[in-house]
Amino acid sequence: MKIVGIVLIVLGLAGLLYGGIRWKKPETVVDIGSVKVTHDKTESLPVPPIAGGVLLAAGALIVMARKQ
């Protein structure tokens, strides 16, 4: 359960600090015989600041919660 909390904290921090999560994905533009041209396409998952704060708080509560 603590792993879920840590993941929520990381996602919450990314949402608050960066406005979301961005990554690059290679995309083939031209593929003719032995010639291959690729382009790095930037994709993102926007996270509103409120959602980032909620994720951060929820993750902190899960990590700090005691198991009964």
User: Which pTM does this prediction carry?
Assistant: 0.62
| Intra-chain end-to-end CA distance of the chain, in Å | 13
Distances, alpha carbon 3 to alpha carbons 52, 62, 63, in Å: 17, 9, 8
Cα separation, 42 vs 33, whole angstroms: 26
pLDDT of residue 4: 93
Domain ranges of the chain: 2-64
Task: Report pLDDT for 37.
Answer: 92
Predicted local distance difference test score (pLDDT) of residue 62: 92
